[in-house]
Amino acid sequence: MTSLRNALLLLPLLGLASACSDDDFDPQTQIGADPELPEQQQYLFPPMHIASVVGWKKDETPAVAPGLKITAFATGLQHPRSVYVLPNGDVLAVESKGPGTEPARRPKDLVMGWIQSLSTGGGGDQPSNRITLLRDADGDGVPEVKSVFLDHLDSPFGVALVGNDLYVANTNAIMRYPYRTGETAITAKPTMLTALPGGPIDHHWTKSLVASPDGTKLYVGVGSNSNITENGIQAEENRAAVWEIDRTTGAWRIFASGLRNPNGLSIEPVTKQLWAVVNERDELGPNLVPDYMTSVRDGAFYGWPYSYYGQHVDPRVMPQRPDLVEKAIAPDYALGSHVAPLGMTFYAAGALPEKYRGGAFVGEHGSWNRQKFNGYKVVFVPFEDGRPSGKAEDVVTGFLDKDDEARGRPVGVGVDAKGALLIADDVGNTVWRVTAGS
């Protein structure tokens, strides 16, 4: 074998062209009820293109659609990922970081972790995983009170108040706290209502939370533990699903499944139906698979991991399950490939221009798995009679600057007591407030 080893003398010049073209595909064709789904394409080099973080300079703000105005409601937060508005108007900013317990199991995880560390900033090493209360009693858009409402949480995301019970969805459990109107900090010890699937992998860790209209149930989004079962199907037990939890006993059942990473759980105001935005799978091409928003039907299966948009089978999953693929239903409304919707709220207030009434705002965190950026904005989807009734339009943009560097990235959205739209920006460490005006 000596000669063979010696033969490794010459470094072959590997002219490997990176698969980096997003061709001329029009992302607009993937917005709406019937998105165009191109051929699957598996990569030699999966595109990883994450906007490097520059942050917001003084007096810089995102851009808004005509008839709207935007101001910073709170700055200097630590990775705010969602907002929740209490009945008295106090705003809870949930500052949260991933548990960081996902082990690097493959060489790919090391490489991807390293690339990601180059471009995700936001928060540095400051303490996060807490909820900050912001009180703007006079409604001028500048909070007079800023206090730590709850601290030392476990990667929290969803919050829901029912009566005097305040529920916080940590990544591994729903916790219940007693809440009295007007409190600016909760010191009481929490009770655990229900344990949720958490570490050690905890790939999709954000647990979105909403109460049913009658307040008897809680709905929780539990994301998958992998992109596409590469951590084994055993790791996906009870994941990629929306859970329904009985609020009094903590008993739970799977309400709907096959939802890879459901977030922004919200009740549609006309039909009182549960809706969610869902992050679909990566590495099937720059234009697959479109993320979506959908009504979440009791007992329904939405495809993941075996298929997407109905019966489009994913070849990466083995063993396959034709029986489940057959049952899979297509979601209601595609938002575009890799836009990463992480927040949604229906607009039932009246302060913003007429056209926004009844529709949904969606926070799109932005793509990393395609060359040309997609998302990095807040869009609005008009609704009529409880169903999407038109094309999504941009409402808040400019999170990327002209050099495609990230000044911020939108995540959770909410509506405050004055009817303004609130946006958690986890890279800009800001909560933005959008009002009518110019």
Partner 1 sequence: MKEPGNIRRVFLLERNIHAKENGMATTEDTYPPALHRHTPQELIAAFAIACMIGGLLTDIAYWKSAEFLWADFSAWLVSTSAVAAVVAILAALIGHLVARPRRRLVPRLPYLLAGILVVVLAVFNTLIHSRDAWTSVVPWGLTLSAATVFVLLLTAIWRMVELRRADREVQP
Q: Is 391 in the site for partner 1 (CB under 8 A)?
A: no
User: Minimum Å distance from CB 112 to partner 1?
Assistant: 9
Quote the tokens at residue 324.
């489940």
| From 63, 108, 181, 195, residue interacting with partner 1 (rule: CB under 8 A) | 108
From 203-211, 220-228, 293-301, 362-370, give the range in contact with partner 1 by CB under 8 A: 220-228
Figure out which of the listed residues 155, 229, 294, 337 binds partner 1, where binding follows CB under 8 A: 229
CB 220, CB 196: distance < 8 Å: yes
Q: Which of 96, 208, 227, 435 binds partner 1 (CB under 8 A)?
A: 227
Smallest distance from partner 1 to CB 199, Å: 18
Give every strand in the sheet of 80-85, ordered side by side.
80-85, 91-95, 130-135, 145-150
Closer to partner 1 by Cβ: residue 111 or 195: 111
Dihedral over Cα of 140, 144, 148, 149: its sign: negative
Q: Scan residues 1-30 and list those touching partner 1 (CB under 8 A).
A: 1-12, 14, 16
CA Rg value for the chain: 22
CB atoms within 10 A of CB 167: 24
**CA–CA separation, 412 and 341 (whole Å):** 9
Q: Which of 72, 220, 317, 342 binds partner 1 (CB under 8 A)?
A: 317
Binding to partner 1 (CB under 8 A) within 30-69 occurs at 42-46
Of the candidate spans 56-64, 105-113, 190-198, 247-255, the one that interacts with partner 1 by CB under 8 A turns out to be 105-113
Buried b (16+ CB within 10 A) or exposed e, 124-155: eeeebbbbbbbbbeeeebebeebeebbeebbb
Taking contact as CB under 8 A, which single stretch among the options 102-110, 204-212, 288-296, 368-376 is the one that binds partner 1?
102-110
For partner 1, the binding residue among 196, 222, 228, 362 (CB under 8 A) is 228
DSSP string, 89-115: S-EEEEE----------SHHHHHHHHH
Q: Which of residues 318-347 bind partner 1 (CB under 8 A)?
A: 318-319
35 contacts 392 by C-beta, under 8 angstroms: no
- Whole-number minimum distance, CB 17 to partner 1, in Å? 12
> Which ranges in 274-390 belong to alpha helices (H)?
322-327
Q: How far is the CB of 262 from partner 1 (least distance, A)?
A: 20
- Residue 187, number of CB atoms within 10 A of its CB: 7
Q: Does 107 bind partner 1 (CB under 8 A)?
A: yes
Please say which residue, 283 or 332, places its beta carbon nearer to partner 1.
283
- Which of 10, 117 has the CB closer to partner 1? 10
Amino acid making up residue 232: G
Ramachandran sector of residue 59 (left: φ over 0; alpha: ψ -120 to 50; beta: rest): left
Whichever of 231 and 266 has its CB closer to partner 1, that residue is 231
Are the beta carbons of 55 and 408 closer than 8 angstroms?
A: yes
Q: In the bound complex, what is the minimum distance in angstroms from residue 203's beta carbon to partner 1?
A: 11
- Nearest approach in angstroms of CB 278 to partner 1 is 18
Which residues bind to partner 1, rule: CB under 8 A? 1-12, 14, 16, 42-46, 105-108, 111, 226-232, 283, 315-319
